[in-house]
Every structure is written in structure tokens, then in C-alpha cells.
Amino acid sequence: MMMSGTSVSQGEGKMICLMVGDASCLGQIIAKLKIRPEVTPLQHKLEKIATDIGLMGTYTALLTIHVLLLRFFLEGYISRQVDLFSKDDSLLTFIKQVVHYVIIGVAIIVVAVPEGLPLAVMISLAYSIKEMSKDHNDVKRLSSCEIMGGADNICSDKTGTLTLNQMKVTNLYCGRDIAINIDQVNGKMTPLDWKNDILKEATDIFKPLIEQNISCNTGADPGPTDKSMIDLLYRTSTDVDAISKKHCPQTATRFPFTSKRKRMSAILENVEGADPTYKKRLHIKGASEIVKNCCSHYLDAEGQTKEMTDEIKSSLDDVIEGYATKALRTIALAYKEVMPNEHGEFHDLPENEDVKDIEKSGLTLICIFGIMDIVRSEVPGAVDTVEKAGVTVRMVTGDNIVTAKAIAVLCHIIT
């Protein structure tokens, strides 16, 4: 049993939720730790204004009472009508007059205190929430409106916010750059053939390696990047489920993707062409710069395995940078023949490290994908508008720096 708030570092699985909200352990802890919410800047200013107005009203009231008393005594002294010790009702008149002056002073204080100011501000903030909801901005707290009004920086996620989060594979590098058709008919991507539309050469070498790598290195709930590659397999009529069941049973060793690892890999079983006695092969998929640096060999345009030299690495860097300047996310695929007991019985040593030894070297680069995520049409105009208002827009992404800059240019974040 896991408590709410528990972080799962890696792996996949299913769970049943028993408690939610305040009934969960985390909810009970939060309920015990509840503190008075911090005063917002606007509330602080309102309190200061109300205090200043109240003090000013008090001083004015005291001054008014003293002036009226002084006037009363001066008028009485001049007309000789004030005699507090006479036997008539002069003392009673004086007391009544003082009480009257005090009432005037209290009235001044009551009028001076701005009781309706907080209500007026709250009504204006509620109106702001209503207007923002028309722009599909769901504001839950009134204080958020005034906090947002003081913001001078906006940090925005790229994928799904600045872009449509509908990624498509547009380029493939297999010893040469291949442009992939992304035309649609009736809202659906057109079918492709590996030999006639994509590879054309060395299809028998690249096709099974690419299909195995993508089919077995995709989780049950794939993200946009993984989904773009899976969609490419579907367009080529590849039976993804059949490949996954054949080579990646539930007992297969998997190393899932994390933001720290920037790669995911699986050890496939029943692989033809691997060690005839062991029939296992490591397939890895991840950030092109990282995967490329772990490769000692690569497949050329004819599907031949060649040694990875410094010159080839420099050439691949140019390919990656070329894709990045087109605002394409680059993903590299690689494989490695696995020997029995290589880095442990399950090939997962060292257990206390994120990246396993078997993933670090001796890989053979298969190909590099260029994946496009289209920028939302309304984003450039929105960025221009907020920047004219003095607000700086910043994009947050885990993409290659060159890719990030290219997308930032399309979004008008940088020029």
C-alpha cells in the first residue's frame, strides 16, 4: 500500500485508489498543518489605507471637538452667558453642548472609515474572474487576479501549451536524410510502405530493427513523442502488439524513461540474428546526443555495420543540429547484442544507478528521427501582445538547446 504523494521512480503498473482528498494520509497531514493564508499585496495596501484614513478621521474628530468647545467658550465669554457655577441651568446646558460636540466627532470618525472599500475591491475582482472565464482562464481564487496583475514574467511549458502537442515524424536519418510524407486525407494520415515510401534501400536491415525498437520501447500510456513513432508504425501496417508480445513478455527486463536518464530501453527476447544460444538484444531509444555518444558502431545507408569514428560523430552532430534548426525534436534508436550474465543475471547492474552499465557503451546506432510539433497559430500574436505590456515570456522545455531556440523564434519569444 502506498500513501498519497508517494513518487514512483520507475516502472509501470496498475493501482486501486482507496482514499482521496481529505481522507487520504496527505490530506490529513495538510489539514493539521493549515495556516492562515498570507496577506496579498492588495490586502496589505487596503489595510494600510484603511488605517491611515481611520487615524486621519480620529485626528479630525478631536480637532473638531476642541474647536467647537473653544468656540463655545469664546461666544459665552463675549456675551457673558457662560457661568458654570450659577444656580440656573448653565451647567446642564454646557454638558449637553459637550455631548453634542462629541457626537459630531464620532460621526466624523464613522464617516471617515471606508467600510465599503474592501467590498468594492472584491466586486471588481469577481468581475475580473468573470471576464477571464470568457477567455477560458479558470481562476479559483480572487487573490489570483491581483497577483497576476503584478506579474512581469511568464514561464510557459512548450509541449501542449505553445505547441499543439500533436507530434509527427517528418524526417528519418538512416545513413542519409529521408523526408517522410505527413499528408492527410479526410483527417487521417496516408498509409506508407517501408520500401517504396521510406527506406527504399536496406529495408530488410532497418525495418525489423526500427519496428522492434519502437514496439518494445513504448509504455502502455505513450507520450506525444512516443505516440508519433507508434503512429508511423501504424501507417506502415506494422503489428505493434504482435511484436511486443513476441519479444517483450512480462518477464522482460525494462529500463523506463525518466527526465534524468533521457532514454528508455528493453532487452528483447526471441530475437533472430542475435546470439543463437541466448537470443537477446538490447534496444534503446532516447535523446539523440546521449544515445549517439554511447555508440561504438553505426549502420550506414546500405545497412552495413561500421565503426563510429570522430568524423562520423561530427557528421551526426551536424544532422542533429540541422534537424534542431528546423524546430524538430531528435530521437535516436540503437541496439546491442546481449551476452549471458553480461552486467548481471538480468543485465541491470549497478542497481543503485539510474543508467545501467549495459546502456553506456557498445551500442550500434540504427537511425535518428526528426519529430515536429506544430506551434499554435495564436501563440506568436499573444506573445507580442504581452511583451508590449512589459511582460517577459520564457519557454521551459527539455528539448535540445538548438531546437528550443528554433521554436522560440517561431513563437516570437526571441528574435
Which of the residues are catalytic?
157
For 78, phi then psi, to 5°, come to: -65, -45
In which residue are the cell numbers 538547446 written?
A: 401
Q: Considering just the CA atoms, what is the radius of gyration of the chain in Å?
A: 37
Rounded Cα distance between 209 and 334, Å, is 9
- Return the amino acid letter for 260: K
Helices (H), 200-266: 203-216, 224-235, 240-247
Q: Strand runs (DSSP E) across 221-278, as ranges? A: 254-255, 263-269
Q: SS3 of 356, please?
A: coil
334: nearest Cα among 278, 280, 277, 296: 296
Strand partners, 254: 266
Rounded Cα distance between 368 and 330, Å, is 7
Q: What's the grid cell of residue 130? A: 468573470
Q: What angle do CA 54, 58, 60 make, to 5 degrees?
A: 115
Q: Strand runs (DSSP E) across 321-377, as ranges? A: 328-337, 363-372
Q: SS3 of 49, please?
A: helix
Query: Is residue 271 a contact partner of residue 246, using CB atoms and an 8 Å limit?
Result: no
DSSP code string of 75-139: HHHHHT---TTSSSSHHHHHHHHHHHHHHHHHHHHHHHS-TTHHHHHHHHHHHHHHHHHHTT---
Rounded Cα distance between 151 and 339, Å, is 57
Q: SS3 of 142, please?
A: helix
